[in-house]
Chain A
């Protein structure tokens, strides 16, 4: 069975500081991995995804994530936080095998950006 663990339900950073949101996965086969962002009163929006190509994935709004198989991690980073990055972030995993594959979401991490 697949699962994701997001460490830290709330993360606070100062404006201009590094953003690091942690995600570890558990999957019986190499997975596909996703990061989504949710702004208040909106649905989720895809930030980036890993599908077994380059291990460093660049997404929208200056975010990137690195797939580390040895650590079973897919942490999300951004060099310099902006006030507009305040939102909730979800890591998700889906097995990469053939046929139907269910997507499993983490519990989410709320990012607060302090001016």
Chain B
């Protein structure tokens, strides 16, 4: 099976712009989670989608949003970018079972200048 894929891998944006990141989960996985990783804050949970519904959300401002499509692919959007949004954004997919492990993509490295 193909792993979790994320596009693009690297992105440079200017403050004030918006950005959309994409994640394709492993085939058959209906749960997709997004995380922001920065050196100082570690892995911060953004949100999780299951069957096109957001079922959990982390403590991020409304500038961060996401959605999931019927094929389980997910996108996250960040509007009005700030310098502090520079980070590695990781997507993870999982099966809907107990003790479910998450399978991570390689991440999208976003740099805001």
Contacts and interface: CB of A to CB of B under 8 A. Distances in A.
| Interface of B, helix, strand, loop or mixed by DSSP | strand
A84 interface: no
A24 interface: no
A44 B106 contact: no
Interface of A: 32, 34, 36, 41-46, 49, 51, 90, 94, 96, 98, 100-108
Interface in B48-93: 48, 50, 55-56, 90, 92
A43 B106 CA distance: 4
Given A94-B99, A94-B100, A108 B42 contact: yes
| Interface of A, helix, strand, loop or mixed by DSSP | loop
Interface of B: 4, 33, 35, 42-43, 45, 48, 50, 55-56, 90, 92, 98-107
